[in-house]
Amino acid sequence: MPNLISNRYFLVKSWNHDNVVQSQSDGLWATQTHNTPILAKAFSQCRASNPPSDVILIFSVNKSGAFQGYAVMTSLPGAAPDPKWTQKLHWTCGQPFFIEWVTTGHVLFRECGHIKNRLNKDGVDLSVVVGRDGQEIDPYAGRELLRVIDNLSHKL
């Protein structure tokens, strides 16, 4: 289980379920180019903190109405080979990185829609289920969301 005290939490949206399944198998991910420097900065800051903390990526497949689990980012972007699924994309990915999946499953949004993210768009407290790819989630909401996902999913 990641250090929950000073972790940073980000929503990751996937175009399809197959990409998430492949990531759960190979431990690789790549995101949109504009998210790469944000995640790289968060990763570097977390690793430099005392004690070191983690960047937690919370996955949701577009239009699934659910979260599929979460993973810890284990390398900076650019340290990993391209995931196989990126060959099928019609847009350019940022640099790939390694991740370690902690919990997988299918947690419906209705199970966690009550959790509010104060880092959401324009500072409005919207539900954690509302967000774009790369949206940061505040630490309280991130910890609570992981608790719900852990309770309703499969820990690895």
DSSP assignment of 17-65 equals: HHHHHHHHHH-EE--BGGGHHHHHHHHHHHHHSSS---EEEEEEETTSS
Residue of 124, 127, 3, 122 lying closest to 60 (CA atoms): 127
DSSP 6: S
C-beta of residue 103 within 8 angstroms of C-beta of residue 145: no
pLDDT of residue 97: 98
pLDDT of residue 101: 97
Phi, psi of 100 (to 5 degrees): -125, 115
Specify the CATH class of 8-155 in words. alpha beta
Rounded CA-CA distance 111/121 in Å is 22
The residue ranges of every structural domain in the chain are 8-155
Q: Which residues of the chain have pLDDT under 70?
A: 1-5, 122-123, 154-156
